[in-house]
Each structure stands twice: as structure tokens, then as C-alpha cells.
Amino acid sequence: MFTYTERLIARRNLRPKRKQGFLKIISLFSFLGIMLGVAVLIIVMSVMNGFRIDLTDKIIGLNPHLIISLENKNELKSLKQRLEKKYLNLKINESISGEGIILINDKVKGVFIKGISSKDKDQSFKNKKIIQGNLSDFSSGKIMIGGELAFNLNLKIGDKINIVSSSFVSTPFGRIPNQESFIIAGIFNSGFYEFDQNLIYLEMKDAKSIFNKDENEIDLEIFLRDPFLADKYKKEILEINQNVYVSTWSDTNKSFFNALKIERNVMFTILTLIIIVAAFNIISGLTILIKNKTKEIAIFKTLGLSNNSIIKSFFLTGFTIGFLSTLSGVILGILFSFYIDDIRNFLSMMFGLNIFPSEVYYLEKMPSKIDPSSISIIFFLSLLITSIASYFPAKTISKMKTTNALKYD
């Protein structure tokens, strides 16, 4: 594609003489600007991908994949039987959910209460680690709480706490919130800060009691082997019974995932502009280089070198800067992305900063997922930008007149 002469001219252009020190500075800034732009773009995309994948895995693992609520509560048992008959391998659990308040040692904390059957507890705690206590101790009169909640309220196994539900009971003094006492049987860790801070589990019998609900006033939860088929099952269930409300794990978190997608696209656009701005340095550098090499270009033309060959040699100069800087940026970005949590921990210890607070970002460590397709797109996009930036200054050579360049020599 490029002849030996064209490559030789390009190599000479990449090693400017001492008197062309300013050109070296421009080339250096071009190199560093593109390298850092590509590296930052890869790092941000890797973190965003890791953030999305980790949160998706957490949400899928900690939530039922389908939740079914009925308008006519009397149809609950018949619907469950029909679903179990249609989907023989489907795991269908019963649950009750609601909000409440924990009262302990003059402390008050709002929580989300979930009632599950003892026979379904293994499924509910499948993606949670029991850090204190034992799941086998979970029974009527006892509760399971998250590790963050236990830490914040200074709770331990065997402590007795009062829970006030959002339902009311009638008394001679009027209607008051329903309140019951429970003993902590275990403390779990899901790895998802929001869950560990706000979620508690009750046995189904206790949940019915504290929320004043009967056998029919419960929801059905379905766990699938492939959570991404939830929408397919949702349509099929609605065909069986139109009087049900079915929500999937993606419906419940739709706005959250849409926000992540928008943020990822915006960050990609903004950081691509950094590469474009850095590419303008290549235009500036080549323009100055061509201006300084006007006499040499005229001599090349006089010796018989074609316009096209000279253009290609100067284009190769800019493209080489772009290619090497892009390649360096890719390597730097991949290395940084791979060790990003170690770097975060080092900076946190050095400067005493909490760079990735789990209470804000929901995850215990900074995630990173290196996506080869994203890196390929970034690599070729950077090469395209630098190629365009290299072409236009080189194209101006065709307009130069040999006679004017040599007139006064």
C-alpha cells in the first residue's frame, strides 16, 4: 500500500530536527491526547458494562422473575394449580410483601417486609450468604435480617425486636398500627447494599398475621431457569387469566436500566469528543510540518515523486501517530479496567477517600467488564477520526506549486 520511499519520508517526518522543537511538542500532545481519550473511554465503558451486568445479576438473583397478583383473590388456588399443571418444572412460591417499621433500643428504621413459606426458604436465600445464625432456625416467631441493617442497629442473633406494619387493627381506643415482636434467627448478606439495609424476612404465618391477610390475599412468585424469558411467560400467563397483574424483574427495574443505558450512551458521546479534540492536534501538527517542508516537497516533485506519493507519505505520518496512540490507549485502558478495584482501594487508603461508596452505588466493589466488541468499536472509531484528521492537511500538498516553492532558492 505504501512504497519504501513513502515510508522513509514518513519516518523522517516523525523525527523532526532540533530546530523544530515546537513540532515535537504538538506531536507529543497529539499522542497523549488520543491515548488518554481512548484509555478513558475504554475504562468508562468497562465500568458501565460491569455496573450494568453486576446489578442485573444481583437483581435477577435477589428478586422473583415473575410476580403475579390477582384482582379476584378467590382465584388464587385455581390459578396456581393451572400454572403448575402447564409448567411442570416451574417453581411457584407464595409470598406476602409490605412495609413496616423496626423499633429497637429507641431506634426507628423503615424496612421492607417479605413473608415466605418455610418450604420455600431455600429458594429465597439461594443467592444470599448467611453470615450469622442458621437458615434452619428460621421459623414462626423468628426473622432474618440483612447485615447492613444489623450493623446500623447494633443487632445480633437472639435479639428481640418489635415490628410495626402498615396495616391497622381496631381497638377500644380506635385503629392503631399492628405491632408484633420477633427474635432474630439469622443475618444474611446479599452483596447488594440496598437489600441488606432494608429487607427482612418473616415466616408466611407471621406475615399474614402482621399484615392482617388471609390465605387468598397473597402473591405468587415464579423463578425461571432463564430469567430473560420472563416476558414470554408473562404473555402466556395473561392468556390463561386476564384478571391478573403480572410484573417481571425487568418491569420492576425498567426506569433504572433505562437510566443506565442513557448514561452509557451520553458518556460514550462525551468521551468520543475528547478523541476528536485531540485529533485536531494532528491537523495542526501536519499543517505546520507541511509548511516547514515546503521546499523539500518541491524538491521531491522535481525529482519525479508524484503528488499522490507525497500525500500518502504525510498521511502516513499522521496515521502513525494516531495508530500508536490508539494502541497505547487500548493497552492502558484494558490494564486500568482489569485492576480498577485494586487502584480504587489504593487511592482510598492513600487519600482517605471513599471513592465508590456502596450505599450510593449499591455494590460492594467497583465492577468492570472488559467487552471486546466495545474495545473494537473504540479502536476503529479512533483510527477513523485520526485518518480523517491526517488526510485533510496532506491533501493540501496537491495545491502547492513547485515553481513558487523553489523560486527564491
Domain boundaries, the chain: 4-57+256-406, 91-223
The predicted model gives 44-59 an average pLDDT of 78
CA-to-CA separations, 347 to 39, 42, 337, 338, 355, in angstroms, rounded: 19, 20, 15, 16, 8
**Which among 322, 320, 301, 321 is positioned nearest to 310, based on CA atoms?**
301
Angle between helices 21-62 and 340-351 (to 10 degrees): 100
Q: Is the pLDDT of residue 22 over 60?
A: no
Q: What is the pLDDT of residue 34?
A: 81
DSSP 3-state assignment of 188? strand
The predicted model gives 306-316 an average pLDDT of 78
Point out which residues pair with 97 in neighbouring strands: 114
Residues 145-160 pLDDT 10s: 988 888 888 888 988 8
Q: What is the pLDDT of residue 221?
A: 82
Q: Is the pLDDT of residue 407 over 70?
A: no
Q: Is the pLDDT of residue 237 over 60?
A: yes
Which are the contacts of 367, defined by CB distance < 8 A and separation ≥ 6? 47, 50, 51, 53, 54
Residues 250-270 pLDDT 10s: 787 777 777 777 877 887 887
Q: Is the pLDDT of residue 322 over 60?
A: yes
In contact, 370 and 43? CB cutoff 8 Å: no
More confident residue, 405 or 365: 365
CA distance 15 to 13: 5
Q: What is the pLDDT of residue 331?
A: 92
The predicted model gives 160-171 an average pLDDT of 78
Q: Is the pLDDT of residue 109 over 60?
A: yes
Q: What is the pLDDT of residue 112?
A: 87
CA distance 293 to 315: 14
In contact, 200 and 113? CB cutoff 8 Å: yes
Q: How many helices (H) and strands (E) does the chain have?
A: 16, 10
Q: What is the pLDDT of residue 70?
A: 74
Q: Is the pLDDT of residue 386 over 80?
A: yes
| β-pairing verdict for 174-189 and 142-146 | parallel
